């Protein structure tokens, strides 16, 4: 496996779509520059998603009839990726930076279902932790409401394993109902942390219960006889 290659194209898809994950599907020019990509595409159109078969036909048509436009787009995206990987001078986190991050998350927040962006929908616990940090600093109730709505929706949805505990990688729909049946250790670590953080703030026992069930799941199903956890 080539995690270095995965990192490049994962960043490209995150720039294009606002989220990343696996399976990862990326379409490239002959020079290896990405011009379109995404994560999960169902075989045929379903749940409001374009099927992989129709996507391939659309990509082929665009490559045939709008090739230069795609090449130009790939060039700009590659330049953006190059800028992101250049070393930058470290800056202290300022209130302005926190406010900018909050404004961005507020703009992409799903006010109906919780979470951020469209399907496939990922938990994105680091976003939630940042919103809690913002609430600690500003006591902005909107930030806390965004966290609570998301945590409540995920805990009730199919993305959470109500029998075995733990969270699946993502939901294929916007309502958190249909999971992608894969669980990652790092998701369990980050989500248990944010549920505990939210419990400390709100004192909602439901959040403590979810965190406890995540711990039980990891110890039972993700830990070997020597006490080592795996991905």
| Nearest 10 degrees: Cα torsion 127, 150, 109, 80 | 30
Token digits for 70?
């795609």
Model pLDDT, residue 229: 63
Task: Going from the first residue of the chain to its last (231 residues), give the mean pLDDT of each consecutive group of 10, the final group possibly shorter.
Answer: 86 84 91 92 84 94 94 91 74 84 92 92 94 96 98 98 96 94 94 98 98 97 76 51
Structural domains in the chain, CATH included, are 3-85 (3.40.30.10), 95-221 (1.50.10.20)
Token digits for 91?
């800056």
Model pLDDT, residue 228: 66
Model pLDDT, residue 72: 92
CA distances from 34 to 26, 38, 70, 132 (A): 6, 11, 9, 35
> What's the predicted TM-score (pTM) here?
0.66
φ, ψ of residue 169 in degrees (nearest 5): -60, -45
Model pLDDT, residue 87: 66
Is residue 157 packed enough to be buried (19+ CB in 10 Å), middle (13-18) or exposed (0-12)? buried
């Amino acid at each position: 496996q080539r995690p270095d290659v995965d990192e490049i194209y994962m960043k490209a898809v995150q720039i294009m779509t606002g989220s990343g994950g696996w399976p990862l599907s990326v379409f490239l020019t002959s020079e290896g520059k990405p011009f379109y990509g995404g994560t999960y595409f169902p075989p045929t159109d379903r749940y409001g998603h374009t099927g992989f078969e129709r996507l391939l036909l659309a990509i082929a048509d665009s490559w045939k009839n709008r090739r230069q436009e795609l090449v130009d787009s790939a060039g700009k995206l590659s330049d953006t990726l190059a800028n992101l990987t250049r070393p930058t001078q470290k800056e202290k986190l300022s209130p302005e930076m926190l406010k900018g991050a909050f404004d961005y998350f507020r703009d992409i927040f799903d006010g109906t279902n919780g979470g951020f962006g469209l399907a496939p929908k990922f938990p994105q616990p680091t976003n939630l932790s940042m919103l809690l940090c913002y609430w600690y600093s500003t006591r902005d109730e909107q930030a806390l409401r965004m966290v609570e709505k998301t945590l409540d929706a995920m805990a009730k949805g199919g993305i959470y394993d109500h029998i075995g505990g733990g969270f699946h990688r993502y939901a294929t729909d916007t309502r958190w109902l249909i999971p992608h049946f894969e669980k990652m250790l790092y998701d369990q670590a980050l989500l248990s942390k944010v549920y505990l953080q939210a419990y400390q703030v709100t004192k909602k026992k439901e959040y403590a219960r979810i965190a406890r069930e995540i711990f039980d799941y990891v110890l039972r199903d993700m830990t070997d006889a020597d006490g080592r956890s795996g991905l």
